């Protein structure tokens, strides 16, 4: 059976992106899902001095191993001031010091949601143009605006957005079926 990792680019314990990515993962069929939480990968703030003096923290290696051993990645990015959260960027920076092709050519479905009307559109744009340099195979992107209105009891309640996500997940699933572990 194929296995994927699913996680939110947020360290909030009640992250709305974690809720969205959990829902997205539940739509996959016959796929083993490992739901990861950035809070379980404690990392110091990246700095070249820290790296020179103390090396790369083992938690960065650990997260990268999850990526490497997966068949695909489902990621929902939180947006802080139009960009990645500090927690996610920090993880990416640390992992990129080990392997610049951080995503190992894995199929990736990119999601984002926010409390506002743009639904994390800015961070999605940033990731969509940047992640291919880290060897991500982005299958699709999906943004859910106004989370509070459109998501209730673990599900998207707006039919149009729900259909969009389901279509994106279906594409991702198809990609998983043809990919082998790299």
Interaction pattern, residues 72-91, with ligand FMN; x per rule: CB under 6 A: ------xxxxx---------
CA diameter of the chain = 53
- Tell me the C-alpha distance between 170 and 176, whole Å: 10
* Sequence-distant (≥ 6) Cβ neighbours of residue 115 within 8 angstroms: 16, 146, 147, 148
* Closer residue to ligand FMN in complex, CB, 10/22: 10
Total residues contacting ligand FMN by CB under 6 A comes to 16
| Tokens standing for residue 125 | 């744009």
CA atoms within 13 A on the CB side of 137: 14
Only segment of 58-66, 111-119, 164-172, 173-181 that touches ligand FMN (CB under 6 A)? 111-119
Q: H-type helices in 55-135, by residue range?
A: 58-68, 86-98, 121-130
* Closer residue to ligand FMN in complex, CB, 75/78: 78
* Closer residue to ligand FMN in complex, CB, 52/117: 117
Scanning residues 120 to 179, which ones bind ligand FMN (CB under 6 A)? 120
Interaction pattern, residues 2-21, with ligand FMN; x per rule: CB under 6 A: ------x-x-x--xxx----
* Closer residue to ligand FMN in complex, CB, 4/123: 123
Beta strands in the chain (DSSP E): 2-9, 31-36, 72-77, 107-113, 137-144, 151-152, 155-156
* Closer residue to ligand FMN in complex, CB, 80/166: 80
Only segment of 45-53, 57-65, 110-118, 171-179 that touches ligand FMN (CB under 6 A)? 110-118
Among 114, 139, 143, 173, binds ligand FMN (CB under 6 A): 114
Among 68, 97, 118, 128, binds ligand FMN (CB under 6 A): 118
As measured in angstroms, the least distance from the Cβ of 88 to ligand FMN is 10
49 membership: H or E segment, kind and range: helix 48-54
Q: Please answer whether residues 171 and 64 qualify as being in contact, where contact means their C-beta atoms are separated by less than 8 angstroms.
A: no
């Amino acid at each position: 059976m194929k296995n994927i990792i699913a996680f939110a680019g947020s360290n909030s314990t009640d992250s709305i992106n974690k809720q969205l990515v959990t829902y997205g993962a539940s739509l996959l069929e016959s796929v083993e899902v490992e739901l990861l939480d950035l809070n379980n990968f404690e990392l110091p703030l990246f700095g070249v001095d820290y790296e020179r003096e103390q090396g790369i923290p083992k938690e960065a290696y650990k997260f990268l191993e999850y990526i490497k051993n997966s068949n695909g990645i489902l990621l929902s990015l939180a947006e802080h001031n139009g960009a990645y959260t500090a927690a996610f960027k920090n993880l990416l920076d640390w992992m990129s010091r080990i392997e610049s092709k951080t995503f190992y050519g894995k199929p990736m479905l990119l999601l984002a949601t926010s409390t506002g009307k743009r639904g994390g559109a800015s961070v999605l744009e940033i990731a969509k143009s940047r992640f291919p340099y880290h060897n991500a195979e982005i299958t699709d992107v999906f943004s859910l605006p106004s989370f509070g209105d459109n998501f209730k009891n673990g599900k998207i309640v707006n039919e149009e957005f729900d259909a969009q996500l389901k279509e994106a997940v279906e594409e991702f699933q198809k990609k998983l079926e043809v990919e082998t572990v790299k």
